[in-house]
Amino acid sequence: AQSVTQLDSQVPVFEEAPVELRCNYSSSVSVYLFWYVQYPNQGLQLLLKYLSGSTLVKGINGFEAEFNKSQTSFHLRKPSVHISDTAEYFCAVTDSGGYQKVTFGTGTKLQVIP
């Protein structure tokens, strides 16, 4: 079984400032990792994913994340945030073995302050 920890429930940040949303996972097997964004009353949209290869993954809307196996982390970063980035962000993990069941973290609310 896997688990995902997002320690920060809310992250306020000023517009055009950098941001990092933290995600740590636990698993006894190899995993795939994802970051999703959810705007109010909407479904989830995939920001980026790590399956294999380069540990630095670039996604949509200027976001990137780095997979660190030794620290079991997959932190999400953006060098300069916009008001439109205000949303809920979910880190997720799935067993790379084949089942595709995804375990989500509890989410981090990113609040961009003008």
Partner 1 sequence: GAVVSQHPSWVICKSGTSVKIECRSLDFQATTMFWYRQFPKQSLMLMATSNEGSKATYEQGVEKDKFLINHASLTLSTLTVTSAHPEDSSFYICSATHPGLWEQYFGPGTRLTVT
Task: Check residue 53 for interaction with partner 1 (CB under 8 A).
Answer: no
Binding partner 1 (rule: CB under 8 A), the pick from 13, 23, 87, 94 is: 94
- Nearest residue (CB) to partner 1, 15 versus 49: 49
Name residue 13's beta-bridge partners: 112
Task: Check residue 96 for interaction with partner 1 (CB under 8 A).
Answer: yes
- Nearest residue (CB) to partner 1, 85 versus 88: 88
- 1-40: contacts with partner 1 (CB under 8 A): 32, 34, 36
Cβ contact 37:62 at 8 Å? no
Query: d(Cα 73, Cα 3) in Å, to the nearest integer?
Result: 12
In the chain, count of helices (H) and strands (E)?
Answer: 0, 12
Query: d(Cα 91, Cα 87) in Å, to the nearest integer?
Result: 13
Half-sphere exposure of 82 (CA within 13 A, CB side): 4
Task: Check residue 89 for interaction with partner 1 (CB under 8 A).
Answer: no
Task: Check residue 46 for interaction with partner 1 (CB under 8 A).
Answer: yes
CB of 8 to partner 1, least distance (A): 14
Name residue 78's beta-bridge partners: 19
Q: Which residues sit at the interface with partner 1, rule CB under 8 A?
A: 32, 34, 36, 41-46, 49, 51, 90, 94, 96, 100-102, 104-107
